[in-house]
Structure 1
């Protein structure tokens, strides 16, 4: 071997060894970084898993609450149906008793008309015209029969009157029981509706579903309709009988009217108002939604019975609570900022079976 080769190889070794050591250190650092990233991802996954578990537990709890409330409503409505059945039977009994009363009065009137002239004649003439014991006996027995029949009919009328009074008291008792039971049913339905709202919000946060405003409103109305609320006011006040007589919900200027074929559709009335104008319910009903709603700001929905609803949107303040029954013209809240009118205003809708109907056909012609 030539003498210059060995020194060359030694130099080459001295150059190459540090280079391999440097590559090894760089690789080790890269591996450590990857390990740290993996650990960080594992922690994130663990946190997400825990959060998902908590959310799953929360949803499960809400669903269990809903199932329990549905069962309670079923039992409460069974009791209410039984009370209603007894009410109907009691009213039918009252109708029969009134008919019996009329029959008794008619028969008693006939007996009195027959008896009274004879009684007067006997009182004045005593026994004139009686020429034999047989005649006297026949007249006496006949009068006795008439008196007895009249007395019996009076007694029948007295018993009938007592039964009518008892029946009316029974009707009043059943009516109170029905009202109390209906309050219990509606209170449970209010709680169920709250739980359904909570479930819906949680599910939306899980799925990140981006419903448009109309779809979200339809979802809310569908949840309300499924509860089949009965209202105390429905007994005497039916929304469908008040077309063109409802008061306007707020004082102001109409900016846009009902036009479902427009682009975008206008499903209600846009009203420009004074700042903090008072907004009132247009009819007797029950507050079934009092919360923000995407696209509508803060919204109150009032259920009026028989699938009629009114909606009041872009409120700055509310005076009522979910589940509260309200009177016609009762203040619900204050008008807030309404983007369409670029100032204070109210968006107002009427719906039947969840579908928008023209409010101007229901409200009085003038503000």
Structure 2
């Protein structure tokens, strides 16, 4: 791929030297002195050196911008992950509060029933008078009847005490229920505050990301230079993937088989959406896989059981996750908004492993998906089910 002459300092020097006769003049009317010619040559050499420095600084600036983009997108991923966790906590707390409120209503109803039953017992005792035992002693009546009345009184007394104990227990449970509800409410308020803070932080980070992406894009004068950068990114990624494959190959025991070969042609799609670019039909980092358009934040699912062997930000790919499925088969998921699993974690088919994003400086939300055997890319659409 050819570059403009001014991007090659050596060529620039040759061009400058070729221009020198014109600069110092061919005409006999304007013949500069030897000193003036040397000064002009020195000036041209200085310009070439400055140009070379600017080109180096541009590459350095691109690397610096990429580093900043990595930091921002990594922070964005953590913010998104935390927002999802907060929302999950809020849903869980809302369910717990609903359960506590239902339990509170049941306790109140049960307490009301116990109080009502106690009122009935107290009314029965009241009808017997303030001192029913004394009346029984003074009333010389049938002894059998006296025994029955005494048994009845004893039963009422036990029942009254049981009701009182039950009411006391219910009061304790209601008090504990109120404390639990208050604690859950305070936790919900704290989560709401954190959600607002994280949302504000997310807005700032996204604005910072847009600035960095625009800055990176502005450094490339044309589509050709942009594609050259993407090719470099892909080359760097290939080196990382090769290291991952080598590390797996060096294991004393190879990763266990998940029989993924048997599911070839029947794997589920990692996310539903239109294919924006097919296998080997695009340039740059998307050359070895497919790009599936999907709404940002859409869950990405593992297409088969496996283990996470890589989850990190990579230039060009953004947040990249790699699953090893055994039998020298790996699947790659890139441009993720954030990860839902960690390195070393085992996943099953259909498990959420992240969400769709546009990390890596990508301008639209989409999932980049690859399948590799022995480290070499193969057509993903030969593995996932037709639709």
Please report the TM-score for the alignment, with normalisation by the length of structure 1: 0.43
Which structure's CA Rg is the greater one? 1
